[in-house]
Amino acid sequence: MASKNVMVRFSDGRKYPQLGLGTWKSKPGEVSQAVKDAIDIGYRHIDCAYVYGNEKEVGDAITEKIKEGVVKREELFITSKLWNTFHRPDLVRGALMKSLQNLNLDYLDLYLIHWPQAYKEDGELFPVDESGKIQFSDVDYVDTWKALEPLQAEGLIRSLGVSNFNSRQLDRVLESASVKPVVNQVECHPYLVQKKLKEFCAARGVLLAAYSPLGSPDRPWAKPDDPRLLDDPRLKAIADRLGRTVAQVLIRYQLERGNIVLPKSVTRSRIESNFAVMDFQLSKADLELIDSFDCNGRFVPMTASLGHKHHPFENDAF
Cβ distance 213 to 251 under 8 Å? yes
Q: CA 101, 103, 107, 109 torsion: positive or negative?
A: negative
For 101-140, how does the pLDDT look when each residue is reduced to its tens digit (9 = 90+)? 999 999 999 999 999 999 999 999 999 999 999 999 999 9
State the first-to-last Cα distance of the chain, in angstroms, to the nearest integer.
Answer: 39
Q: What pTM was computed for the model?
A: 0.97
Distance, CA of 200 to CA of 166 (rounded, Å): 10
% of residues, the chain, pLDDT over 90: 92
Please confirm, yes or no, whether 52 is among the known catalytic residues.
yes
Q: CA 94, 95, 99, 105 torsion: positive or negative?
A: negative
Q: How many CA atoms lie within 13 A of 122 on its CB side?
A: 2
Catalytic residue among 43, 52, 119, 141: 52
Q: How many residues does the chain have?
A: 318
Long-range residue pairs from 252-258, CB within 8 A, at least 24 positions apart, any chain: 252/277, 252/280, 252/281, 252/282, 253/190, 253/213, 253/282, 253/287, 253/290, 254/188, 254/210, 254/213, 255/6, 255/18, 255/19, 256/281, 256/282, 256/287, 257/198, 257/287, 258/8, 258/202, 258/207, 258/208
Domains and CATH numbers, the chain: 7-305 (3.20.20.100)
For 44-101, how does the pLDDT look when each residue is reduced to its tens digit (9 = 90+)? 999 999 999 999 999 999 999 999 999 999 999 999 999 999 999 999 999 999 999 9
For 210-242, how does the pLDDT look when each residue is reduced to its tens digit (9 = 90+)? 999 999 988 989 898 889 999 999 999 999 999
